[in-house]
Structure 1
């Protein structure tokens, strides 16, 4: 180590000696040459006003021009400083543009029955209501009454059946889609059926998505406004039911309209259509573009493992799933992933504390750029306007009663008609943009320099050349010439030395 340090010191000394040797070969200009250089710079520079200070013989005019030049310099410094401060606050503007097109992509629509379970299955297996309620409360961080009778029944049941899977039970005994539940389907005049819907699992159990993912319809773009998807559902309240004590007291279809590239999210944005009603939904496409940090809050480098397109909701689900799987070794069935499904015991002992830990420690946050799940850089939404009418009319009621071979009362209590279409063939783009770009900043700085000093980039180079030349001369003077002058001066003689010389004589 010591040898290395010594070699570094020798190398530095060698470099300094070379610099000194190089500088010593350069002659130091005389005072007249330096004055001539300063005067030539003042007359030739493109920095306005400087030559007026040097050229004028009147002292009053010199002072006036000196004040003018210094004032202009101070003003331009202040203006440039304020523009730099403004730029580094990363300001943005929002632009809204309506784009009219000939064709537009139709969204995905996910439908769920408000009565989630088959009546025959839950009649023999009523504990499923409690199991689902417990799991839902844990996922949504709600308090569970451990001492309730129903909860104890659920625990006793799962202790006797360790391999029970809520997911498999709901898939097998939940709502299904076939010719008996989907009576009619029409997409822009062409018939569709249950085969055109993809099964998805949500908090409403078995749900079915039209025009989702790799479905062939998702690649099509519609070219007619006022028409779209029309479906007629039979919710069949005799065959499907739910527990009213848990808050499920409605009958009908809940649905959500979303991008074909995103998973459905029902929290707070689901639309309801009750039985005996015709719901007419008109939609518009709205695209939102966010700037990446530091102008905006999006992070384009974040990718999701279980979803093809980034979304805040999908990111939060993956974040929770990752922490729960790490702590508990399993996954709740409403969260994405390929891990082992958590049983109810693990929900009590591990999943619930893990979710509370995630919330308290803010391990899965959203919104700003450095959070776990920042806003997406681009997202597409479909704001909807919904209106209702009684379905069917008295004449249509008789017609459907004969067609389906069901009573008029059955038709009123079980059928739901939903129609979804675009209001216009256009979409709105809301885009976050940089308020000041680099080129605009340079233009503003150059404008201030030109306005107050008549300066440009060439002027700045001239000033830098002038400063560098003077600095170079100062280095020669102080580093070489002054030490040489000091070394040549003979040392003063002391009285003691004189005395000794006399004695020697």
Structure 2
């Protein structure tokens, strides 16, 4: 009876130990969410591109320094008034006339092809911004990288640049030069580069080209809640009186964008190891103690007993040989 119970307990202990070790090597993670108040919030970089991306009439240089805010609200943000200038549009690349806006980190290059939101002409748009700071775990608990000055968007864009040059033997006009390759003409850009771009991003060809671009271990995101309304007749009359534009032109071309923080606090997402070495050792000790009534000292005693047993038998086998030699 005692042997049966001992074997049963030993089997349960082996099963529990195997289960806990397998769980440890799955490298589980847990995510902690916290809302942190702040006295000084970094304002996001606001990138704005005209839907007419073929011709760039001009842009105002705002400087290289970062902007900060110490108060939230619609009256304490960044107010921009933009001119769509539809008469300057080339072959219509978009079904709309307006701008695409994207909020991102100051050191992150814009990816206007696939990110952002659109604002149309003839209206005032409010962009209510919140802040999320993400901290990810490095391998084996995650896939992020803490490489200095690394950015996932920039990594993907460089990979796309290399591959489109290989496939099309030229680079689109909007792409930075990576060598002495020529700029694609209109036919090559439409029939090769643009098609490759769609396949690369929307058909997941970036995985086929081995673009190893993991997310950064530390990242800031700026989700936005966008609302807008058309200019009132009084505002149209006022804008027309203080500018050289007619009310008709303002309706068709002018848009104002107001970007501001919703509050002086940010959401913090931290990924941590969900099962540490100490947790593993605790579970193993619990399994041994529960079903076998053993502890760490018990294991040491067992190892010591096995060692003495082996030494004793080894000495016993060699003892007759020594007597014969005498």
Other-structure match for 1:364: 210
Find the aligned partners of 1:242 and 1:354 in 2 and give their Cα distance. 23
Query: What's 1:98 paired with?
Result: 35
Structure 1 segment 151-170 matched on structure 2, within 5 A: none
Q: Render the CA deviation track for 1:93-147: whole Å, top value 9, x for unaligned.
A: 2322222222211100011122345xxxxxxxxxxxxxxxxxxxxxxxxxxxxxx
1:458 Cα shift? 2.2
Q: Could you say if the C-alpha distance between residues 105 and 361 of structure 1 is closer, same or farther in structure 2, counting changes exceeding 3 Å?
A: closer
Q: Which residue of 2 aligns with 1:310?
A: 151
- Secondary structure of 1:255's match? strand
Match among 116, 128, 134 for residue 270 of structure 1: 116
Where in structure 2 are the equivalents of 1:17-416 lying within 5 Å? 64-117=1-54, 174-177=56-59, 194-196=60-62, 215-216=64-65, 218=66, 220-226=67-73, 227-238=76-87, 240-244=88-92, 247-301=93-147, 308-311=149-152, 313-323=153-163, 331-336=171-176, 338-344=178-184, 359=205, 362-365=208-211, 372-391=212-231, 393-416=232-255
Q: Deviations over 1:39-62 (max 9, x none)?
A: xxxxxxxxxxxxxxxxxxxxxxxx
Match of 1:475 in 2: 314
Matched, 1:445 2:311: no
- What's the TM-score, normalizing by structure 2? 0.83
Q: Deviations over 1:434-464 (max 9, x none)?
A: 2211111112222223333343322222211
In structure 2, runs of 5+ residues without a counterpart are none
TM-score normalised according to structure 1 size: 0.56
Match of 1:135 in 2: none
Cα separation, 2, equivalents of 1:360 and 1:269: 17
Per the TM alignment, residue 483 of structure 1 is displaced from its structure 2 partner at its CA by: 6.2
CA contact (8 A) 2:288 2:295 kept: yes
Tell whether the 8 Å contact from 2:146 to 2:218 is kept in structure 1 after alignment.
no
Q: CA deviation at 1:258?
A: 0.9
In structure 1, what is the Cα distance between the partners aligned to 2:321 and 2:26? 50
1:72 to partner: Cα distance: 3.0
User: Which has the greater radius of gyration?
Assistant: 1
Cα separation, partners in 2 of 1:471 and 1:323, compared to 1, 3 Å: farther
User: 1:320–1:364: 8 Å Cα contact kept in structure 2?
Assistant: no
CA root-mean-square deviation: 3.3
1:215-273 CA distance string (max 9 Å, x none): 22x1x4312111311111122333x21213xx434222221111112011123322111
In 2, distance between residues paired with 1:109 and 1:430?
A: 23
Q: How many pairs were matched up?
A: 316
Of the structure 1 ranges 450-459 and 352-361, higher mean CA displacement relative to structure 2 is found in: 352-361
Q: Distance in 2 between matches of 1:383 and 1:464?
A: 59
Query: Structure 1 residues 360 and 65 mapped into 2: Cα distance closer, same or farther (>3 Å)?
Result: closer
Once residues 340 and 267 of structure 1 are traced to their aligned partners in structure 2, the CA distance between those partners, rounded to angstroms, is 25
Return the structure number with greater helix share. Answer: 1
Shift of 1:78: 2.2
Please say if residues 97 and 121 of structure 2, whose CA atoms lie closer than 8 Å, have aligned partners that are also in contact.
Answer: yes
Q: SS in structure 1 opposite 2:182?
A: coil
Distance (whole Å) between structure 1 residues aligned to residue 158 and residue 115 of structure 2: 20
Larger mean CA deviation between 326-335 and 425-434 belongs to: 326-335
Deviation of the 1:329 alpha carbon = 8.0
- Contact 1:72-1:453 at 8 Å conserved across structures: yes
Task: Give the C-alpha shift of residue 389 in structure 1.
Answer: 0.9
| Contact 1:281–1:421 under 8 Å retained in 2 | yes
Unaligned runs of 5+ in 1: 1-63, 118-169, 178-193, 198-214, 366-371, 489-505
SS of the aligned residue for 2:262 comes to strand
**Bigger relative CO (Cα 8 Å, ≥ 6 apart):** 2
